[in-house]
Copies of this chain bind each other. A is one copy, B any other.
Amino acid sequence: MIEVKHLNKTFDGHNALTDISVQFPKDQTTVIVGPSGSGKSTLLRSLNFLERPESGIYQFDSDEIDLSQPISNKTILSIRRRTEMVFQGYNLFPHLSVLQNVMEGPIQVQKVKKAAAQQAAIDLLGKVGLAEKASVYPSQLSGGQAQRVAIARSLAMHPEYIFLDEPTSALDPELELEVLKVLLQIASEKQSMIIVTHNMAFAQQVANKIVFIEDGHVLYDGGSDAFFETDNQRIKDFISAMTFSNI
């Protein structure tokens, strides 16, 4: 399990995250929601050391890292090799074909043999419904296809956790749907995931646990059903704004 305790992160003196303590259970999907600029991305990126919090404890299973101390490259690499990140902008490698994008990590990082990596990559592309796109370059994909390749790329590393930062917010609703379906499928296979999303319908379906952040503070941390039935007026307002029921 991943857990952070009393995590703090500032940008130029401005508090992006204040005293955050959250658990992200294994084999479950945790969804992080909250208004724009509340610190969702910062929290997710901190779990991968793309951001470096000033203080707090980061615990991954039995490994405990004191974030206020210098952290060795080795520690960072080992965490990154147990987790994967899927970005809003896909960040596929444009100079590699779709297949090579998926094979690159296993070959370069896990030293998997090329033939084995290729077979695994072909299987994964099939799983996200893109078997026939294996040989094209990312620039020839639609947004929904690109994001599914990015998901296949992260799955290829067999990560213990996958982090997804608004994986569909750059997509048209129809393309979004393609991606969300793939994610629901993966969640049902008990892949541990942490997802930042604005899509409440999707959150409701996929989340085992919801974390609501506002202004760098955790306002809610608990079950999905309780979240959508809350009496908290702030959360109610937020949900209705997200679903346009009150324009």
Residues of A in contact with B (beta carbons under 8 Å apart): 35-36, 142, 169-170, 172-175, 177, 180-181, 184, 198-199, 201-202, 205, 241-245, 247
Q: How far is the CB of A159 from chain B (nearest CB, A)?
A: 24
Residues of B contacting A36 with CB < 8 Å?
Answer: 142, 172, 174-175
User: Copies per complex?
Assistant: 2
Residues of B contacting A177 with CB < 8 Å?
Answer: 241, 244, 247
Tell whether A202 pairs with B169 under 8 Å between CB atoms, given A36-B142, A142-B36, A175-B36.
no
- Chain B residue with Cβ nearest A143: B36
Tell whether A199 pairs with B244 under 8 Å between CB atoms, given A169-B172, A172-B169.
yes
Q: Cβ of A198 and Cβ of B173 under 8 Å apart?
A: yes
- Chain B residue with Cβ nearest A144: B36
Q: Cβ of A242 and Cβ of B202 under 8 Å apart?
A: no
Q: How far is the CB of A98 from chain B (nearest CB, A)?
A: 20
